[in-house]
Amino acid sequence: MKITLAETAGFCWGVQRAVDIVLDVSKKSGKPVFTHGPLIHNNQVLEELESKKIHEYKSGDIGSNTLVVRAHGIRPEVLDELKSKHKNVVDATCPLVTKVHRAIKKHQDQNFQVFIMGNEKHPEVVGLLGASKDRAIVIRDAIAAREYPQTFDKICLVSQTTQNDDDFEATARELKLKCKEFKAVNTICEPTRSHQIEVVDLALNNDLVIVVGGKHSSNTVHLKEVAERQGTRAIHIETEAELKKEDLLGVEKVGVTAGASTPQWMIQKVIDKLESFEEANKSLLYKFSKFILNTLVSTNLFTTTAFASIYLGNHIVSKTPVDYNFFWSVISIVFALHSINQFSLEGKFDRRSKLTPKVYEFVRKLISWFSFLLLFFGVSFGFYSSSIGSDLKGFGIILFSALCGVLYGWKIIPINWISRFGFSSIRDLPASKDLSVSFGWTLLSCGVPLAYSSGNLSPVWFLLIPFIFFIVYIRSAILGVRDAQGDRIVGIESSFKALGKNRSKKLVFSLIGASVLISLCLFLPFFGVSPVFGFLMLTITFVSGIIAHLYFQRILPANDLGHFLLDSQFVLPVFLYGILKLLGYA
């Protein structure tokens, strides 16, 4: 069975903006945050926010806590009332909804009778009616427009942002017959339009369309309707638990899309469920291979292998002998720090996990304790390795890296500074995760070998240090694309969330270009690098470029396979070099 995922499925930018706003407010204040009504129409996301002390406002005084107006917007008089009652009110209304408010006011001032196409009970439409001071008329569709008994001199038609273009045009044709002067202002938002265009394509090219999203989400319901209009069977599910194997009887091609309030981890779980139906017929070898891959990635073992490859590759390029005492020390520290930050400091159940929350909590504690013990071993072994050579420079670098790694996610800024600076830990700084990983890997893979090399600084290190920093930053930034587009509700610690898609994309490909130039310089006779390994290093940058493109286009899966392929680019050159060395070609 072939599974096709719509490119724009999931969170629209307006919803993502509202989620980002409420998370930023929560992080800066350090206090519970309230939202006026459900922030978005998705129960699973609301549960995720609830776990971060972001609650729906019911009534009463919230003191100095912040109240956030949701993406749908509210009536202007309600907003004014909230601001008079509460000290801190933040308006997270989608700018495209605000644009509809302005269009209504503008045309009412020009004596147009405004019609709003939409569901009069939908929160967005309630807010639009408020913008018109209840003078606008709400109609659902073209039939309601045709049956409306009254005529007017001037009519202006606007739309709830999540409606359908075809319905809007049909409604406009009917209303045009009921006035002397008519104006249609198509206020359907672009993300909604893109979702609907894609679902038409999915319906025409698949036997079944699965629409994922809240049952009370207007735009999600419309997606199912649009698919069915093409004559294709469509089903609307909220979670993967609703998907039954009987739904796929006789289905060879299935298309998957999702509403604007649906996070990617929910979509991924649906895809995983679909694949599991197929995997029931897969061989035992396939299932075992997938289990091994998932285990290697989820436990950070393969990430540590990628670092080990960089460490050994640096020695190969610089032609310096490997001190395996230091090697095992830094390997232990890298594995421990990645696991500590993933399982101990973050410490929250990932809804995409295949484990139950109870089992996950047991595994989390087990790995956390093991990681702290391994970190202690790594630092201690680093001290032992340095003391053998009576030179503590290597140990100093190891200890500094370990301390920085542990402090990354801990609150180290006094609480009374938070409101002024907006952060309480290194993690809260923009792009901190990508920069920290890049700096840490570069320091350990380059600094430690240099520290015990007795000051014999080969010229090649002047190229290796920036090269390692760039390629590790690219790796981390690409994972940030996966995490952000996978809606892991991450903060600005990733470059993708701090800079946005376009600027982070430009940064990543600029660093790839810089890495290519550095790789080419390694071929100069002055540096004395093996041409074979120099070529293999050059391949890393090209592979990074391909993987970056696939991630930005959401083609590469945002799962363990994608992560495995990303880290493989570091392992493969060293592995191939080893084989060529054994065969006498390097």
CA distance 49 to 44: 9
- Helices H, strands E: what count in the chain? 23, 12
- Burial of residue 239, with CB atoms counted within 10 A of its CB: 0-12 exposed, 13-18 middle, 19 or more buried: middle
By annotation, the residues acting in catalysis are 124
**513's tokens:** 């270009």
DSSP annotation of 417 reads: G
CA distance 74 to 465: 53
CA distance 31 to 37: 19
The gap from C-alpha 487 to its chain's centroid, in whole angstroms, comes to 4
Phi first, then psi: give them for residue 363, nearest 5 degrees: -65, -40
For residues 265 and 488, is the Cβ–Cβ distance under 8 A? yes
Which stretches within 235-300 are classed as H helix? 264-279, 284-298
With residues binned 3-state (H G I as helix, E B as strand, rest as coil), the percentages for the chain, rounded to 5, are 60, 10, 30
The gap from C-alpha 321 to its chain's centroid, in whole angstroms, comes to 41
Helices 43-50, 13-29: axis angle to 10 degrees equals: 10
Dihedral angle, C-alpha 293, 297, 303, 304, nearest 10 °: -80
**215's tokens:** 């049952």
CA distance 544 to 512: 7
- Burial of residue 242, with CB atoms counted within 10 A of its CB: 0-12 exposed, 13-18 middle, 19 or more buried: middle
CA distance 215 to 237: 7
Strand, coil or helix: 385 = helix
Nearest to 203, CA basis, from 247, 167, 233 = 233
CA distance 222 to 42: 16
**339's tokens:** 């696991």
Show Cβ contacts of residue 143 under 8 Å, excluding neighbours closer than 6 positions: none
